[in-house]
Amino acid sequence: MDKLINDLKVQIIAQLNLQDIKPEDIADDQPLFIEGLGLDSIDALELIVLLQQQYKIKLSNPSDGPKVFYSVKTMAEYITANQS
Amino acid sequence: MALETYINAVCRISDHTIIKNGETVFSNPNDDLSAFLISSYKHLNINYPKFYKMDNLSKLGFLASEVLLQHSFKAEEYLPQDIGIVLANANASLDTDIKYFETVKDIPGPSLFVYTLPNIVIGEISIRNNFKGENAFFVFERFDTNFIETYIRNLLDSDVLNACICGWVEVLENEHKAVLFLIETNMTNGSIFFTKENINKYIANG
Amino acid sequence: MQSPVLIAGLGIISAIGNNTSENITALENGIAGMGDIIYLNSIHRQKIPVAEVKMSNEELAGRSGLSSQISRTALLGTIAAEEAFNDSGIRGLANTRIGFVSANTVGGMDKTEQFFSEFLTNPQKGRLRDVVHHECGSITEIIAEKLGISNFVTTISTACSSSANAIIYAARLIKNNILDAVVAGGADALTKFTLNGFNTLMILDSDACKPFDENRKGLNLGEGAAYVVLVSGSLIAKLKKDPYCKLSGYCNANDAFHQTASSPEGEGSFLAMQGALKNSGLNPRDIDYINLHGTGTQNNDISEGIAIKRLFGPVYPKMSSTKSFTGHTLGASGSVEAVLSALSVKHGMVYPNLRFDTPMQGLPFAPETKFSKNEPIEHVLSNSFGFGGNCSSLIFSKN
């Protein structure tokens, strides 16, 4: 899980063009949206693309988004649960 | 009522150089466009992380507007809906269209698709500065001084706007050119009259 | 004293008809234009409904007198612009300063993406002449040439408000006595570029859209073209014909909130509508019908709805979204809806908002669900809100 979380931080930074941020700046439990990294609706769509491209998981229902993408940790848990 | 209108600031970005009111602000001749835009952002100490998500056209227009407005514009003297933006270029959003289209092969990129419209750069400048007045984006083969002068003058004369950012913002691969004018009806220290001749002085190549 | 701006001619081609009278017939009979993808060669066939014009490129070429190798955007634009120009009676008039202002967002993208897929497999393949008319300005020039207008030709590209802005710009040219008449509007063809892009933004409905409904799921992409011929007061007198109506007011504003989403309080929409009313000297209660932007997305409809509540409450005019018929025609939507709004004033028509079942929570009004005509319609407000926060409102009034 730790390696996945670290990989995810690197991938999120690259996918969302968060150029001023380093992986160690993102806490595992930190909310990604609203406060925290202040991501918006387009960033959420990019995270859906990230899931598909890196982990072959398709999130077809955008309303699951807020739960899955709440923090890096919840993303990692979702990936672990849904990877075949 | 016809008011006197003034160019109160000019910012030109071309050949990897940023020039405000005729003076060089920053230059980085060895970089490709993407690297130049980021090094400019850092040099200018602008703290606006959303910059990194923009495409090159929006980055160029945004930077030109930041330099244009800094120390030259008092937004608090206006209502948001009295400040507008009128821009033009020849290639619309072609640079990003190509980049977006490349992602369609695999998974279409949503954040790239957002920028496949040339007027998004106007949106970015508006969001940053809370400008809510009339805004338009025209597609011309080359900068049309006559058009821009007549159009902006009309907007200010008929009270549609009290201040306007207008000009040209163009990006295609590493080719780039932005020339932005700040047009107002109040005279300041550095004001020059808003005339076709004065516009042409800054638009001319070189 | 500035000239009034009258509408002397109309032209439209959309998913519900290939000319003005066919469009009216479909609206009157509740026949919507969305369905399975027929003409576009897309992987989304049978998955995503769209509102295509029901003619192949060969058929459009035949009707427009252009080659079928020309971009579909230009073919659609030419057909609608010709209809408007012929309808107006100004064609061939001597000593008349005429201009052409056209909007589109995709340009010749349909030909470019064809070229690109061939080019990708083999760099020797793909016909370069397919990409020659890629850019937006080129499409405008093709149509202008067909109309025989060369002096004053301009292209606007501001997303979904593009052709409404073309009409605003054209009105100013007439008011300032720069031109006597302007053919103004826009065209956009359906392309894989836009279909894939909107799909990736997850704002498409997998069924026919339900604008302003609590359970709406997104928009349906459409295609089409529409033009109005705006003329000055002195020219309409010369033409000795009754105009459809006059363009009595307009306004454009920026929402300054997000690149693609509208602000929760609908500020941009509010400013555009309020500004158009001020420009026309009218009050909210003077408006008899609002042709909504009403795309059917969660975000647009509530934002537009709240702006309407703020501006019109507590008494609301009739309103509906004709995108429930035509789909969202992007760069053409402003002028498609301008044509429908002008016809609304002329014939007292109010169009239904198809597939509406449940009012949106928090909004004390609902759109019309039945077609009616010969209503006492004096003033119609038409909204077009585009990405980049670009919001435009036009007001059409009885002359």
- Write the pLDDT tens digit of every residue in C39-97: 998 889 999 999 999 999 999 999 999 999 999 999 999 999 999 999 999 998 999 99
Residues 6+ apart with CB under 8 A from B86: B135, B136, B137, B138, B148, B151, B152, B155, B164, B165, B166
Asked if residue C360 has pLDDT above 60, the reply is yes
Tell me which residue in C202, C258, C261 faces A62 most closely, judged by beta carbons: C202
Distance from CA of A46 to the nearest CA of B (A): 6
Nearest residue on chain C to A41, alpha-carbon basis: C261
* Token output for C319: 């309103």
Tell me which residue in A40, A45, A48 faces C258 most closely, judged by beta carbons: A40
Distance from CA of C390 to the nearest CA of B (A): 7
The secondary element (H helix, E strand) that includes residue C250 is strand C245-254
Distance from CA of C133 to the nearest CA of B (A): 12
Inter-chain CB proximity C201 and A49 less than 8 Å: no
- Write the pLDDT tens digit of every residue in C248-275: 999 999 999 999 999 999 999 999 999 9
Q: Are C344 and C380 in contact (CB under 8 A)?
A: yes
**Left (φ > 0), alpha (ψ -120 to 50) or beta: where does B170 sit?**
beta
- Write the pLDDT tens digit of every residue in C277-313: 999 999 999 999 999 999 999 999 999 999 999 999 9
How far apart, in whole angstroms, are the C-alpha atoms of residue C392 and residue C158? 10
CATH of B6-203, one of 3.40.47.10, 3.30.70.1520, 3.20.20.10, 3.40.190.10: 3.40.47.10
How far apart, in whole angstroms, are the C-alpha atoms of residue C54 and residue C18? 8
Q: Residue-wise pLDDT tens for chain B (206 aa)? A: 567 999 999 999 999 999 999 999 999 997 799 999 999 999 999 999 999 999 999 999 999 999 999 999 999 999 999 999 999 999 999 999 999 988 988 899 999 999 999 999 999 999 999 999 999 999 998 999 999 999 999 999 999 999 999 999 999 999 999 999 999 999 998 899 999 999 999 887 54
Inter-chain CB proximity B117 and C159 less than 8 Å: yes
Q: Are B58 and B176 in contact (CB under 8 A)?
A: no
| Dihedrals phi, psi of B178, to nearest 5 degrees | -130, 130
| Dihedrals phi, psi of C78, to nearest 5 degrees | -65, -45
How far apart, in whole angstroms, are the C-alpha atoms of residue C143 and residue B54? 33
- CB contacts, 8 Å: B49 with chain A: 18, 20, 38
- CB contacts, 8 Å: B123 with chain A: none
Nearest residue on chain A to B104, alpha-carbon basis: A49
- Write the pLDDT tens digit of every residue in A29-41: 999 987 778 788 8
- Nearest in space to C16 (alpha carbons), one of C42, C49, C43, C54: C54
Q: What is the CA radius of gyration of chain B?
A: 17
Nearest residue on chain A to C200, alpha-carbon basis: A45
Residue predicted with more confidence, C109 or C319: C319
Q: Does A42 touch chain B (CB under 8 A)?
A: yes
What chain C holds in terms of domains, given with CATH numbers, is 5-239 (3.40.47.10), 248-397 (3.40.47.10)
Nearest residue on chain C to B128, alpha-carbon basis: C256
- Write the pLDDT tens digit of every residue in A8-66: 999 999 999 998 899 999 999 999 987 778 788 899 999 999 999 999 999 877 778 88
Distance from CA of C74 to the nearest CA of B (A): 16
Q: Does B112 touch chain A (CB under 8 A)?
A: no
At C127 the pLDDT is: 67
The torsion defined by the Cα of C3, C9, C11 and C16, in degrees rounded to 10, comes to 100
At B203 the pLDDT is: 84
- CB contacts, 8 Å: B135 with chain C: 158, 252-254, 389-390
Catalytic residues of C: 160, 293, 328
Q: Does B200 touch chain C (CB under 8 A)?
A: no
At C132 the pLDDT is: 63
Q: Where are the domains of chain A?
A: 2-26+33-82
How far apart, in whole angstroms, are the C-alpha atoms of residue C257 and residue C246? 33
At A6 the pLDDT is: 95
Question: What burial letters (b/e) apply to B161-197, b meaning 16+ CB within 10 Å?
Answer: bbbbbbbbbbbbeeebbbbbbbbbbeeeeeebebeee
- Write the pLDDT tens digit of every residue in C99-120: 999 998 887 788 778 777 776 6
CATH code of the domain made up of A2-26+33-82? 1.10.1200.10
Q: Where are the domains of chain B?
A: 6-203
Inter-chain CB proximity C105 and B81 less than 8 Å: no
Q: Does B98 touch chain C (CB under 8 A)?
A: no
ipTM score above 0.90: yes
How far apart, in whole angstroms, are the C-alpha atoms of residue C69 and residue C131? 11
